[in-house]
Chains A and B, each alone.
Chain A
Amino acid sequence: MIKDFLNNVYEFLRKYSLIFILILFGVVFPLVLSDFRLSLMAKYLCFSFPAVGIVLIWGYGGILSLGQGIFFGLGNYFMAMFLKLEAASLDTSASALSQFYGSSLPDFMVWNSIEVLPFWWEPFHSLAFTIFAILLIPTLVGFVLAYLFFRRRVGNVYFSIITLALASILTILIIGQQGFTGGLNGITDFKTIAGFSLDSNNVKLVMYLTTVVLLATFLGLGQLLLKSRFGSVLIAIRDQENRVRFSGYDPALFKATIFAFAAMISAVGGALFTLQVGLASPSLVGIAPSVEFVIYAAIGGRLSLFGAVYGSLLALEAKTFFSEHFVQFWSYFVGATFVIIVRFLPFGLAKLVDSIFNPEVKKIGNKK
């Protein structure tokens, strides 16, 4: 009886997982959770964006990126630049300074005695350009980077190391160019977005719901992509790259496309993070966050788009729990989780759940 019931629930969830996520996060949580918990949830969801991207590139493309923080960071900073400029234009002390300098400068630039707004900051006065930049620039960077290297047939392991090095370059640049980027402190202290106060609860709720809708959109797009012929070729490349090449496909193009898509997802997550947490920081760009994104995907299961969302929530909930109670155990926990998941559960919790309810699953996917 109970087993049948659970099986039915499982089947139902498998079929309608996208709708389930929309209802759970979009309707149930806003009604049930306190404002504080909901804002935490918003933060967790932002971190699940790059994890969803990692499932696409790692689970299905066989590309392990240790640099998703780069794209998360680009989105994060682009949004912060827009918000900071808006905050600067409203700030009375800044406008007094602007009479002096000719344009209103963000506070950290004034502290670093930068006198003219750098030209690449100028376009971020416009919200339309900012959204355009968040969606396009990381995607383009990701595509060009991946296409160039994969066209040269750089192996996946080398590519991982290259992304790792790039993540560390970007962190070094952000910290080093304090006057233009806010340095180690990052960019913070935002006031409004398009005139709406970021502190108001309604705005926060709208942001949260936007996050849920965007996440669901990317999940849906990801599902469609994987079900399409594109997805089949991608999986074929993961398993037998040379055979696909000899069949007349260009693996580099496919790998670069999925990498670019994952970059876009990460960047959107980063931008939403800025909006909801009010911070752009080099600590969200470098190696440590990039690797943490991978662990979120690994916990959920590298072949499960939805698993990435739940994996992120579980990992981040654990992180909050540990940092509230015993900070030092967070590193032990992450370290041990990495080892245990990779060693015993290479396909994460999604596979575990599947194999409990559906013994048939055990047989598939054990290889590779």
Chain B
Amino acid sequence: MTSDILIMQAFNGLSQFTILVLMALGLSIAYGLMGVINMAHGELMAMGAYATYVTATIFENYFPGAFDQYIFFGIILAFIVTFVFGLLLEKTLIQALYKRPLDTLLATWGVSLFTQQLFRQIFGPKELSVPTVSWLNGAMNFGGDINLPINRIFIVSLAICVTFGVYLILFKTRWGLRIRAVTQNRAMADAAGIDSSRVDAFTFAFSCGLAGIAGSAFTMLASTSPVAGQQYLVDSFIVVVFGGVESLFGTVASSFLISQEQAIFEFLMSGSMAKALMLGIVITVLYFRPSGLFSTKVRH
């Protein structure tokens, strides 16, 4: 009995993990490559969530027959919208603040406040929920009392696919090769003929797109509000610093650890106290491993 509850609680932690890992992957790539701390990452997630909501509304009204499949279009639209926004942001703002990490932090914080208010005006301050798709309803039985909701299984598989996709892009494509080259040594990469400013723009936009997908997944867990993203921001930063910047494995592992930690503490105490304890533990660990648990050496 208790083991069943534990498994289900662990699985709840796992769905939290999907959001965190998608958010943190983007943050980690952007920070590792360009030294950019993107405080608007949470709002990009909210943007993805709203894009999914808009897709759902469009399908509901114009293509009710295909409504069951809208979620795939929602995810794609969320990625495209946030990717384009990220590209614009990089070209207009981030590029000018290159090599000033603390300044990008402040400037993107400004962007985050601005977009948050924009959401509030367009979609209203209340929480919006996306209608559920019939085939994602219900739960799957895994023997005994273990019932896992299908929509959560869906987003966990989504996160696994995306993470694997990021791995493929980073390690198996020319683009990934360029990104890794610029991350390791910008000057040498430039000298070897890589257009590092194009790599920057693409990578930043890509990291924003990942936040968009996180937003899409988020709509399946909870309802979206203008401040939805901000609640994940601190957590995903903590994941990044805890795992060690620019380590794909570190980011995934630390998202997993942190979300499981949180889920287990939540089982033992109130949700907010669990969060405080989790942050406290992470800060203590950072004292002993200042560059994260799974850090690799990166030149900046």
Give residues in A with beta carbon < 8 Å to B. Answer: 58, 62, 64, 148-149, 152-158, 160-162, 164-166, 168-169, 172-173, 175-176, 287, 291, 294-295, 298, 328, 331-332, 334-339, 342-343, 346
Contacts and interface: CB of A to CB of B under 8 A. Distances in A.
Interface in B83-123: 93, 96-97, 100-103, 105-107, 109-117, 120-121
Contacts of A335: 110-117
Contacts of B148: none
B24 interface: no
Contacts of B279: 165-166, 168-169
A52 to B, nearest CB: 18
B102 A156 contact: yes
Contact of A64 (B105, B111, B113, B280): B105
Interface stretch (B55-63, B202-210, B270-278): B270-278
Contact of A332 (B103, B109, B117, B241): B117
Contacts of B290: 149, 152-155, 158
Interface string B278-296: 0110110011101100000
Contacts of A162: 241, 283, 286
A165 B280 CA distance: 8
Contacts of B121: 328
B234 A164 contact: yes
B294 to A, nearest CB: 15
Contacts of B107: 338-339, 342-343
Task: Tell me the dominant secondary structure on chain A's binding face.
Answer: helix
B101 to A, nearest CB: 5
Given A165-B279, A169-B279, 13 more contacts: A64-B105, A64-B106, A148-B287, A149-B287, A156-B102, A161-B241, A162-B286, A165-B234, A166-B283, A168-B234, A172-B275, A338-B107, A346-B103
B246 to A, nearest CB: 13
Contacts of B282: 165
Contacts, number: 116
Given A169-B280, A172-B276, A328-B120, A158 B286 contact: yes
B65 to A, nearest CB: 39
Contact of A337 (B37, B110, B112): B110
B110 A336 contact: yes
Nearest first, the 9 A-B pairs at minimum CB distance are A338-B110, A335-B114, A335-B113, A331-B117, A339-B110, A342-B107, A172-B276, A64-B102, A154-B290
Contact of A336 (B35, B101, B114): B114
B45 interface: no
Contacts of B275: 172
B237 interface: yes
Residue of A154, A165, A176, A287 contacting most chain B CB atoms (<10 Å)? A165
B276 A339 contact: no
B122 to A, nearest CB: 12
B19 interface: no
Contact of B106 (A152, A168, A169, A342): A342
A335 B116 CA distance: 9
B59 to A, nearest CB: 31
Interface residues of B, number: 41
Nearest to B237: A161
A339 B92 CA distance: 11
A343 B96 contact: yes
Given A157-B105, A336-B110, A152 B287 contact: yes
A154 B286 contact: yes
Contacts of A346: 100, 103
A154 B244 CA distance: 12
B272 A343 contact: no
Given A158-B290, A343-B107, A331 B276 contact: no
Contact of A338 (B113, B272, B286, B287): B113
Contacts of A152: 287-288, 290
Most chain B beta carbons < 10 A, residue from A153, A155, A337, A339:
A339
Contacts of B112: 335
B108 to A, nearest CB: 9
Nearest to A162: B283
A64 B283 CA distance: 17
A63 to B, nearest CB: 9
B283 A165 contact: yes
B213 interface: no
B117 A328 contact: yes
Contacts of B117: 328, 331-332, 335
B272 A176 contact: yes
Given A152-B290, A161-B241, A176-B276, A287 B37 contact: no
A98 to B, nearest CB: 30
5 contacts: A165-B238, A166-B279, A173-B273, A338-B106, A339-B111
A339 B111 CA distance: 7
Contact of A342 (B37, B110, B237): B110
Contacts of A149: 286-287, 290
Contacts of B234: 164-165, 168, 287
Most buried by B among A152, A294, A331: A331
A271 to B, nearest CB: 24
B253 to A, nearest CB: 18
Interface string B198-235: 00000000000000000000000000000000000010
A289 to B, nearest CB: 13
Contacts of B102: 58, 62, 64, 156-157, 160
Contact of B272 (A161, A165, A175): A175
A231 B148 CA distance: 60
Nearest to B102: A64
Contacts of A166: 279, 283
Contacts of B280: 169
Specify which of B106, B114, B115, B290 lies most central, judged by the most chain A CB atoms within 10 Å of its CB: B106
Contacts of B105: 64, 157, 160
